[in-house]
Amino acid sequence: FINITTIQKKDNHSNATSCRTLKARSDEYTKACTRSFGLIAVVTNCRIITSFSELYRSETSREIINLFAVTIRVAGKLAPTIVYDDGCHLVKYVKNHIGRDLTKTSAMELLASTPISVDRSHFRNHVGDFSRQNMNPDKNPC
C-alpha cells in the first residue's frame, strides 16, 4: 500500500485540492509494470465514444491531458463540458502547469477554459474546499 502522508511530504502539488482521491503510485511500482492498465475513453452523454487511449503504467493527469490534446487535435474541439472522476486534480494540474511543463497551446487553453466537474458517483469522496465549491456535477453549466 502507499503511505499517503509520505507522498504529501514529497509532493505537495499532487494533493493541492486536499481531496482524499489521490491517484499516485510509487515510482518503483510504475517502473516495474510492463503491461497496460487498460483504456480510458472520452464518451458523450449519448454513450458515443469519441476518443480513447491506452493507459500505460497508471492513470495520471498527464495521460488524461494527452487524451484531451489528441482529441482536440483530431476533432478541433471538445464537448462544452467535461465530467471526470478526478476533475479537481486535473483542473489544478492544468492551471498550475500550463506555460511551464505543459506548453501553452490553443489546445491547452481550450482545455483550461472548458468547465470540468466530478461525476456524481465520485463526488461524495471529494471533500476538499476546492472540490466542494467548484466540482459539483449538479452545478456544471451544461
Report residue 58: phi and psi, to 5°.
-155, 165
Higher pLDDT, 13 or 99: 99
Other Cβ atoms less than 10 A from the Cβ of 56: the count is 15
**pLDDT over 90, % of the chain:** 43
Question: Would the pLDDT of 102 be above 60?
Answer: yes
Q: What is the mean pLDDT of residues 103-131?
A: 91
Q: What is the mean pLDDT of residues 40-47?
A: 90
Grid coordinates belonging to 55: 493507459
Annotate 56-125 with DSSP letters as a single string: ESS--HHHHHHHHHHHHHHHS---S-EE-TTHHHHHHHHHHHBTTTB---HHHHHHHHS-EE--HHHHTT
Band of the pLDDT at 55, cuts 50, 70, 90? confident
- How many whole angstroms separate alpha carbon 142 and alpha carbon 48? 17
Position 36 scores a pLDDT of: 63
Contacts for 131-134: CB closer than 8 Å, 24+ residues apart: 131/17, 131/19, 131/88, 134/88, 134/91
How does strand 116-117 pair with strand 82-83? Answer: parallel
Band of the pLDDT at 67, cuts 50, 70, 90? very high
Phi-psi region of 18 (alpha: psi -120 to 50; beta: other; left: phi over 0): left
Specify which residues 40 forms β-bridges with.
53
pTM strictly above 0.75 = no
Band of the pLDDT at 141, cuts 50, 70, 90? confident
List pLDDT tens digits, range 79-90: 999 999 999 999
Band of the pLDDT at 38, cuts 50, 70, 90? confident
Domain boundaries, the chain: 4-33+60-139
